[in-house]
Amino acid sequence: MNVFQIQGGNRLQGMVDVAGSKNTALAIMSAVALAEGTTVLTNVPNISDTRIKAGLLEKFGAKIEWQGNSLTVDCTDLHNGETDEETVRAIRTSFYLLGPMLARIGKIDMPAPGGCKIGARPVDFHLKGLALLGADVVLEGGVYHATAKELRGAEIYLDFPSAGATQHLMTTASLAKGATTIQNAAMEPEVVALAQFLTSLGARIEGAGTSLITILGVERLEGRPFRIPSDRMQAATYLLGGAITQGDVTVRGILPGDQTAVVNKLREAGAEVEEGADWVRAGAVRRLKAIKVKTMPHPGFPTDMQQPMAAVLTLAQGTSIVEETIYESRTGHIGELNRMGANIRVEGRSAVINGVRVLRGAHVEASDLRAGAALVLAGLAADGETSIRNVHFIDRGYENFEENLRHLGASIERVAVAGLEPASG
């Protein structure tokens, strides 16, 4: 297995370009199954999650070709393929292929999905929405067996603005007969990007980015080239790196509007933040101050940055409170940060962080993707050496992570050590 070895204490300084968005790419790699002909996706992050998803599409008959960050997909001839449970469980978005496959070939069998272990992560909103669209889905022996003679438009109300359910149902409705509305829809930028992609294929979608999305089903969608926008979570992680190391990091090629929640919280904590048309610069010249953070659906503070932000606040002056409202157990970073000298206690859904003056390097373990990112940030700011196990979790979401961090001045190496790779989350 691989570990990250970090020699802490270097200030991160300089500019970095971030890779394409993981979560947009994964959603689009389901939607692409709706299209006949060839779709060329560029700026696709070449990370383990997208490679797994591409492999899954191949099992359903898609023709796939990777060239660096460009992915050519031809879903003209699809069939209900044999999928192995291990591959499907490795990523949550395997499940988002259900609707598109029903729209295209009327049948699919798919083992229940997996993803990072951060909460129960049910799929009931997806199932209710698919049923309203005319699908018949039965779970038997851990496998979803789904069929649909015809998909038809429906009025869907989501109990919670789930990003995944919004994406899955909006995608599926694009080939359903008639109009579909999704109320209480997620407003995440990844939903907007997906709608742009679907529209470029010929779909008719209005309201993406608001809580009411209307989709008018069309008969057929055709492959088109599309560039995946940059990853707002990777971008935010580098900005937090600038803040925690009292450095000065500029992330280029991003939409600053996507960073509003993180940027505002960094400013509140006393970080220096500047924004331009397509860049954000963050750093700190003195110790940050404690703040309160509460995760919310977009445009609130993103749950994906909750753990990295908590790492930053371990070194802030005073007592910070970080409340997680989206997932019930996104807490894998807490014990590990405490091993590094942080002072965090859990109270209900909140982490109460008493800021310390120094973190000290330690042997720690990533339990999921963003917990891993939090530990990397802590390691960069800690005194001495930190070694982080289970790097494969971090590889799910960060392309060229250590190269980018080294470019910014960090001392971080990926080292292979003997030991078993634990099962992927």
Name the residues annotated as catalytic: 116
What's the CA angle centered on 28, arms 27 and 32, to 5 degrees? 130
Q: How far apart are CA 234 and CA 206, in angstroms?
A: 28
What are 214's strand-pairing partners?
Answer: 181, 206
Q: How far apart are CA 59 and CA 55, in angstroms?
A: 7
User: Locate tokens 């802590």: which residue?
Assistant: 378
Q: Which is nearer to ligand EPU, 26 or 288 (CB)?
A: 26
Using N-to-C axis directions, what is the helix angle for 98-105 and 124-132, rounded to 10°? 20
Least distance from ligand EPU to the Cβ atom of residue 354, Å = 26
Over the window 81 to 110, marking each residue x when it contacts ligand EPU by CB under 6 A and - when it does not, the resulting string is -----------xx-----------------
**Quick one: which segment of 117-125, 270-278, 305-313, 382-390 binds ligand EPU (CB under 6 A)?**
117-125
Over the window 184 to 213, marking each residue x when it contacts ligand EPU by CB under 6 A and - when it does not, the resulting string is --x---------------------------
Q: Give residues 296-325 in contact with ligand EPU (rule: CB under 6 A).
A: 303-304
- Report how far apart, in Å, the C-alpha atoms of 58 and of each of 47, 75, 316, 413, 414 are: 17, 9, 48, 34, 30
Query: Contacting ligand EPU (CB under 6 A), which of 4, 60, 125, 393?
Result: 125
Query: Contacting ligand EPU (CB under 6 A), which of 123, 371, 375, 412?
Result: 123
Q: How far apart are CA 380 and CA 295, in angstroms?
A: 24
DSSP 8-state class, residue 359:
-
Query: Residues near 83 by Cβ (< 8 Å), separated by ≥ 6?
Result: 56, 59, 60, 94, 109, 110, 111
**Quick one: which segment of 57-65, 66-74, 124-132, 378-386 binds ligand EPU (CB under 6 A)?**
124-132
Q: How far apart are CA 388 and CA 2, in angstroms?
A: 9
Query: Contacting ligand EPU (CB under 6 A), which of 21, 23, 184, 314?
Result: 23
Number of residues that bind ligand EPU (CB under 6 A): 26
| Residue 327 within binding range of ligand EPU, rule CB under 6 A | yes
| Residue 119 within binding range of ligand EPU, rule CB under 6 A | yes
Query: Contacting ligand EPU (CB under 6 A), which of 58, 124, 206, 274?
Result: 124
**Quick one: which segment of 68-76, 123-131, 134-142, 256-264 binds ligand EPU (CB under 6 A)?**
123-131
Query: Contacting ligand EPU (CB under 6 A), which of 53, 89, 104, 126?
Result: 126
| Residue 369 within binding range of ligand EPU, rule CB under 6 A | yes
**If you count them, how many residues does the chain have?**
425
Query: Residues near 352 by Cβ (< 8 Å), separated by ≥ 6?
Result: 319, 320, 321, 344, 345, 346
* Interface residue list for ligand EPU (CB under 6 A): 23, 26, 92-93, 116, 119-126, 160, 162-165, 186, 303-304, 326-327, 369-370, 397
